[in-house]
Amino acid sequence: MLYLKIIISVLLGFLIGLEREYSHKYIGIRTVSLVTLATTLFCMIQLPGSDPTRIAGQVVTGMGFLGAGVIFKEGASIKGMTTAATLWCASAIGCLVGLDFWREAIIGAICVIFINLVFKHIKIKIKDNDD
């Protein structure tokens, strides 16, 4: 079961990262796959009497710092917000897999990919109508 968690985690990270690569973002397959893998491994740590939600809570904090590193200001606009949010979601998906909520992780990954692919086109349509 432990190997299956790792495989599912890397596969979900790969699929999310593939969308980022497809969208020509600077964080893609490798980074997102490593995030899902690392968070799965952290959440798989089961010491006697330990609370796995404490590890997940630390992952949330750590991903906040990692996500902040991909956000930057370029002129009057801010870049990287969606990538940072995607990394944060990828860490949540990794935690879900590590804590045996792999079905929820799969649904979450589908939602992330859907949001990044479909909502981008909705945003473009809305901006086109503002003219």
CA 112 to chain centre: 8
Contact 91, 60 (CB under 8 A): yes
| Residue 13 to residue 83: CA distance in whole angstroms | 13
pTM over 0.75: yes
Cα dihedral 34, 44, 91, 53, rounded to 10, equals -160
- pLDDT digit of tens for each residue in the chain (131 aa)? 789 999 999 999 999 999 999 988 888 999 999 999 999 999 998 778 788 888 888 888 888 888 888 888 888 888 889 999 999 999 999 999 999 999 999 999 999 999 999 988 787 777 777 65
Residues in a beta bridge with 72 = 79
